[in-house]
Every structure is written in structure tokens, then in C-alpha cells.
Amino acid sequence: MFVPVPEDFVPYSILLINVILFKVMRDVTFAVVPSHLRSLVAEFISTLELCSDYAELGVVYERHGYVALGLTLTLVSYWWHQVFEDTEACPCGPIEDYVLRYPVPSGDIAKTLIGQILGGICSIRYTKLVWSFHLISEHRVLHTTQLCKAVLKITVLRGVLIEAFITFVSRLVALQSRKWDVKTAGVINSITITVLSLGALGTTGGFFNPILASVLTLGCHGNTLTEHVAVYWIGAFLGGLVARLLHQTLEEVTKRKES
């Protein structure tokens, strides 16, 4: 198939197309969707964009290695921070709200999770559609290979601990960054995501997001369902919960000092 750009630029071009496509999708849908469905739709689009971008970032890594992945992930992460607004594209937040009994209506939590699940499912179909054009050899292999390989390369226990730790760090930074201006928060969060992702790439894959991990690796050869759930769901939830509790404690200590 004829490609109008050099093959080395194809994955970056797809990421750029995603930026434009999902920005237009937000502008159009937010203008017409009822207010009571806004959170569901916002989570749907953010999760769809996050998972689709990560799938293509995998192609960047396969083709150009760590440095290219790090630079591209940092830029894309900064963009996510600018457009995701209050959405998380990760189930850790709403589950934490429920477990800690934060004053959030159960209906809002349900809409958030439904939006994320639907976004994750649609991202699989969207990514397969993009890869079906076989624009480059990596796309052809990914599209035609029937069985993917799991990225977990260590024991389940170590995997749980690593995913819990990187989720803890990323959640704590994200919570603390709410006090900063948008640009500063975007830079710090982007760097944090990149460092944590690259640091765990060779062990668990460095997802620290259960939905993202399931979209990209659930059912892959090498891990059972129980192992997948333990590492990428329980590990992430534990890390996020500890971060939330620590952040809450720090907030209370700060208020006492100020009073």
C-alpha cells in the first residue's frame, strides 16, 4: 500500500492523526451530548485516545527503541494532560472514591467506569482497523498475528509490587499536581509517566492502569487470567489506594499547620 510519508514517520503520523481526530470528537460530542452524560462520554473518548495512542507507541518502541519512545511518550502525555481535563481514563480513581466512601454519587462512578470500559473496547477495534491497512511491517505483523505474547517477564508477586509502586508514585504526583498551574502540572506528570513507564518496561510493561493493561495484554500467551488480574488490577488498585490515603493525610497535616 502506498504511504505518503516515509515509513519511519508512519507511527508518529498516526499519533498526530489521533490528536486531531479525538480533539474533533470532543468538540462535536460535547456540543450536543446532554450534561448528565458528559462524564461518561468524556471518559469514553479519553480512554479511547489513551489506549489507541499506547498501542501505536508500542510500534514506536519496536521501530526506534527507548529514546524515541521516551520522547514521544512525554509529548503525548503532555497533550493528554491538556485535553483530558477531569477525566482519568483509569478505574483507580472511581474505585478509590467508592472504597474510601468519598462523597461522589454512585451514578457518577458507574458512568465513569462504563465510559472507560466502552472506550477500551472501542480502542481495540480502532487500533485493529488502523493496523489492517498494513502501512508498515510492524502493523502487518501485529494485525495478522493471532496470539500476542504477555509482557510480564518476572514473577507474579514482583509484578504486583512493581505495578503497585509505579501506580503509587504516578497517583501521588497526579494528586499533588492539582495545586500547580496547568503547564507545570503537565510537564511534571508527563515526565513522571515516561520515567515510570520506561523503568518498568522490561518487567511488567509499566502500565499502572488496569484498563490500559487489559486492552493491550489481556489474553496474551504467557499469563493466566488470575496472574493478569493480580498484577495489573490488584497491584494498581493497592498502589493507588495507598497514594490516595497518603495524600489525604498530607492534606490534613497541612491544614492543621495553617490553622
pLDDT tens track for 214-243: 999 999 998 999 999 999 999 999 999 999
- Mean pLDDT over 51-62 rounds to 97
How large is the greatest C-alpha to C-alpha distance in the chain, in angstroms?
67
* pLDDT tens digits, one per residue of 134-176: 999 999 999 998 778 899 999 999 999 999 999 999 999 999 9
List CB contacts of 147: < 8 A, sequence separation 6 or more. Answer: 220, 221
Q: Quick one: pLDDT at residue 3?
A: 61
Output the average pLDDT for the chain: 94
**DSSP string of 14-65?**
HHHHHHHHHHHHHHHHHHHS-GGGHHHHHHHHHHHHHHHHHHHHHHHHHHHH
Polymer length of the chain: 259
* pLDDT tens digits, one per residue of 171-226: 999 999 988 999 999 999 999 999 999 999 999 999 999 999 999 999 999 899 99
pLDDT band at 32 (very low <50, low <70, confident <90, very high): very high
pLDDT band at 104 (very low <50, low <70, confident <90, very high): confident
Whole-number Å distance between alpha carbons of 180 and 49: 25
Q: Quick one: pLDDT at residue 2?
A: 52
Q: Quick one: pLDDT at residue 115?
A: 97
Whole-number Å distance between alpha carbons of 24 and 203: 36
Instruction: Please give the residue that has the higher pLDDT: either 5 or 237.
Output: 237
CB neighbour class for 145 (10 Å; exposed up to 12, middle 13-18, buried from 19): exposed
Cβ–Cβ < 8 Å for 190, 74: yes
pTM of structure: 0.95
- Provide the 3-class DSSP secondary structure of residue 221: strand
Task: Give the whole-number percent of the chain exceeding pLDDT 90.
Answer: 82
Q: Where are the domains of the chain?
A: 1-146, 147-259
pLDDT band at 1 (very low <50, low <70, confident <90, very high): low
**DSSP string of 106-142?**
HHHHHHHHHHHHHHHHHHHHHHHHHHTT--SHHHHHH
Q: Quick one: pLDDT at residue 108?
A: 87
